[in-house]
Amino acid sequence: KQVRKRRRKEIKEKEKFSGDVMDIYNKSNEEKSKKEIDEETTNSLK
């Protein structure tokens, strides 16, 4: 019984970890597209 509980905890940790990784990935993608939009805006203003 104890082993199964620990196993579930490990899986939870893994899921949380991959969720964090996805958050970081999405954030950096958002920032990248923001930068690209900013560059396009400044280019069209020139």
In this predicted model, what pLDDT tens digit does every residue of 3-42 receive, in sequence order? 778 888 888 888 888 888 888 888 888 888 888 888 888 8
pLDDT at 33: 86
Confidence of residue 1 (pLDDT cuts 50, 70, 90): low
Quote the CA–CA distance of 36 and 24 in Å, as a whole number.
18
Q: What is the DSSP string of 1-46?
A: -HHHHHHHHHHHHHHHHHHHHHHHHHHHHHHHHHHHHHHHHHHHH-
Count, residues in the chain: 46
- For residues 19, 21, 25, 30, the Cα torsion angle rounded to the nearest 10 degrees is 50
Q: Which two tokens stand for residue 43?
A: 């280019």
